[in-house]
Every structure is written in C-alpha cells, then in structure tokens.
C-alpha cells in the first residue's frame, strides 16, 4: 500500500487544475508581453487569474503580484519593505519557516536591521504581551509571523497581531503558505500588509505563488528585469502555473467546508488510534487542539527508542511518505529548529503527518498499524 501523508510539503495536482492549465501548455503559447494576438490571449488569461484570486481574498486585482512561490513572496515582502520604508528593526519568532527566519537573520548579519525574537509559551504560541512590549520599545518595526506553523500546526491570531501592529504603526507580514486555500482570508477584515500563497500547497502546480500587498504599501521590486507585474517583478510570467493556481484556489474555496470536515475527522481519528496503539505517544504544539491548530497537520512525538534514528526510512520502506523533525539528529547537531525551540526531548521520535483531501481512513489505519508494529518489534527485540 502506498500512502502519502506529506501534504504540508506539497499536494497532488487536482485533475480540474490540470485541465485548466493544458490550453496554456499547448495551444496558447504566446508571450504575455507581446502585443500580437497570441500574446494578448495569454495576457488575458493571466489577468483573469489575478482577478479571480483577488476576488476570493476580498482584494483588488492590483494588489496581487505573481511570484515563483511562497519563498520569493516572503523575501519580497520582507526585504523590499525594509528597503522601501527604511526600517531598522524586525520582530519574528524562533519557529518561523526558514524563508522568513533565514532572510531576517541574513539582513541582521549584514547590519541592515536589528532582529528581535518574540517569546513563545510551552506549546510554541506567540506571547502577545511580549510582542506588544517589543513594539512599544521599537516603533515602526516589521513584524513577520506565520499564520499556521508548517511543523506543529499552531495557528496565530492574525486579528490580534494585526491590531497590535496598527496601534504601534508597525508593518505586518504573515507567511500564510500553509493556510492559504485551507482557510478563508478576507483582507478587508485583516490588518495585514502582506499575505502570501504557494499553489502547490492547495493542489495547484509547483513553482508559482503570489504576494498580496495592501493598498498604499507600494514597495520596490525584488526581482529586476522587464516591466512584468506592473514593474514589480521582472521575468516572463509562469502562465500555466498562474492559471492553474487560480483554478486551484477557486476549487479550494468552493469545496473548503467539505474538505475541512473530511480532513479534521481523519486527523481526530488518527489521534485516537495512535493513543490506543502506542504507549506514551505525545503530540507537539497544539496539534490536538482543533480550533488552535491547522486541521491539516499532526505532529506526533513517539517514545524514546533506537528505532527513531531510522523511523522515516522504515516508514518509507512500508510505502508511507511523511516528514520528520527531531530536536537533534543522530550524529549531527542539526535538527528541527521548531522542535528545538519547544525543547522536545531529543531521544523521542517525531513525525509530521499532514493530510489532504485525497487521504482516507484506511490509509490512517495502515499508517498507525505500521507504526505500532514497528514499536512492538522494538519492545520484543529490546
């Protein structure tokens, strides 16, 4: 049996999305910057996609800029807002995605900014009182905090952080890669200046994403070249990727309630099965708290065992695709910075199961039975 539980890394392309992309891969091959008919046809497809994504977010089309993915969108928001507005201080957390964390650490190393880390509680949640303290002492900061953590699933209260940033005149960028297409974002209600999306996280194609920029926040470009994206991002557009992304987001919004219920039920079922099958199983962050964690992510902490060093390998041999994260790795001091920040015991085995709309209860049963069998063998052999 082949089982895929790594949807937080990437998702399977939806057949409806492929159907939308095919004409751009075959017949409509013109360069969208060309003024002839072939180019105009493709340009129209890009602008329809922009209008569709904007409409779903409650934004205007002029506020959506297409990128190569979430990493470029994050880098654009961070680096260009710092450059454009002359910011000298940024606030983030120790559990951010490396697209954010490494970018800010690099800018600090270059001497461009002073970087502050907001405190986290024992579950990995942002301490809002400490965030306010940092904002009070360092006015006009850039705040970069993710909406949904890709490893442990914790959700950030975007509204609360946005209100704090508004109070202290801070610029708020949120990495929404893991929540885009899984939760509804209405930029008319949120107080964020930048949001990002990556198509392959919601059953669209890889290599394409977008950046939402709030009106009045015009920033200088990150990628220079041609005049594409209204002089905001040089380079010929990934046309079929953009069209596929828009279609994927349309489908995600259309079917969101149904898929959320299906995936949440699978997640809760797996939690119950793991607790019943493996003694001393634990869960990292707020993975088991339905209203405070991504319904697509479950971070599992398994009992100390020599098996843990080869756990992902053994699961892969059994046909189960998952991601891991351990506070430290055997023979190396490099591990998950997220679990390290939570002080997860290094001898425990940590596995991230991330769910999608194509997963089934039978797949959960197989994954749990495989894990339980591995640990039973370890107990017998030990």
Residue 106 host element (H or E): helix 98-109
Q: How many residues does the chain have?
A: 382
C-alpha closest to that of 54 among 336, 245, 325, 281: 245
Computed on alpha carbons and rounded to an integer, the radius of gyration of the chain in Å comes to 22
Query: Which pair of tokens denotes residue 146?
Result: 């993710």
Q: Are strands 114-117 and 89-92 parallel, antiparallel or unpaired?
A: parallel
Query: Which pair of tokens denotes residue 167?
Result: 């109070």
Q: Is 328 a catalytic residue?
A: yes
Query: Which pair of tokens denotes residue 70?
Result: 């979430």
DSSP 241: H
Phi, psi of 99 (to 5 degrees): -60, -30
Q: What is the DSSP string of 40-52?
A: HHHHHHHHHHHHH
Is the Cβ–Cβ distance between 218 and 80 less than 8 Å? no
The Cβ of residue 239 has, within 10 Å, a number of other Cβ atoms equal to 23
Task: Extract the runs of DSSP E, i.e. beta strands, from the chain.
Answer: 3-4, 64-67, 89-92, 114-117, 142-144, 171-174, 194-198, 209-213, 282-283, 297-302, 320-321, 323-324, 349-354
CA 165 vs. chain centroid, Å, equals: 22
Handedness of CA 218, 220, 221, 224 (dihedral sign): positive
Q: What is the DSSP string of 331-372?
A: TBS---HHHHHTT--TTSEEEEEE--TT--HHHHHHHHHHHH
Three-state SS letters, 205-260: CCCCEEEEECCCCCCCCCCCCCCHHHHCCCCCCCHHHHHHHHHHHHHHHHCHHHHH
DSSP 233: S
Sorted by sequence, the CB contacts under 8 Å of residue 328 that are 6+ apart come out as 334, 335, 340, 346
What residues act catalytically? 328
């Amino acid at each position: 049996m082949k089982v895929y539980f790594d949807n937080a890394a990437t998702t399977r392309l939806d057949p409806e999305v492929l159907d939308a992309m095919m004409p751009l891969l075959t017949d409509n091959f013109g360069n969208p910057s060309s003024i002839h008919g072939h180019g105009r046809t493709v340009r129209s497809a890009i602008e329809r996609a922009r209008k569709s994504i904007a409409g779903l977010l409650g934004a205007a089309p002029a506020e959506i800029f297409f990128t190569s993915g979430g990493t470029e969108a994050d880098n654009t928001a961070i680096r260009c807002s710092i450059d454009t507005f002359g910011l000298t201080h940024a606030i983030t957390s120790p559990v951010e995605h490396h697209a954010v964390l490494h970018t800010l650490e690099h800018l600090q190393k270059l001497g461009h900014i002073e970087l502050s880390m907001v405190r986290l509680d024992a579950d990995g949640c942002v301490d809002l009182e400490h965030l306010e303290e940092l904002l009070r002492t360092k006015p006009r900061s850039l705040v970069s905090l993710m909406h949904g953590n890709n490893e442990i699933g914790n959700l950030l209260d975007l509204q609360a952080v946005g209100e704090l940033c508004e109070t202290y005149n801070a610029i708020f960028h949120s990495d929404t890669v893991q929540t885009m297409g899984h939760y509804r974002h209405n930029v008319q209600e949120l107080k964020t200046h930048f949001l990002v999306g990556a198509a392959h996280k919601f059953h669209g194609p890889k290599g394409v994403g977008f950046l939402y920029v709030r009106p009045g926040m015009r920033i200088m470009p990150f990628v220079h070249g041609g005049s594409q994206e209204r002089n905001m991002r040089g380079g010929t557009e990934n046309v079929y990727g953009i069209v596929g992304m828009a279609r994927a987001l349309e489908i995600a919004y259309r079917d969101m309630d149904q898929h959320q219920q299906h995936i949440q039920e699978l997640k809760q079922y797996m939690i119950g099965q793991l607790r019943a099958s493996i003694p001393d199983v634990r869960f990292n962050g707020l993975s088991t708290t339905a209203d405070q964690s991504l319904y697509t992510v479950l971070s599992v902490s398994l009992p100390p065992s020599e098996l843990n060093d080869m756990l992902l390998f053994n699961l892969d041999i059994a046909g189960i695709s998952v991601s891991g994260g351990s506070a430290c790795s055997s023979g190396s001091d490099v591990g998950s910075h997220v679990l390290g920040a939570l002080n997860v015991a290094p001898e425990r085995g940590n596995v991230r199961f991330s769910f999608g709309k194509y997963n089934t209860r039978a797949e959960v049963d197989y994954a749990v039975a495989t894990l339980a069998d591995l640990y039973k063998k370890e107990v017998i052999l030990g």
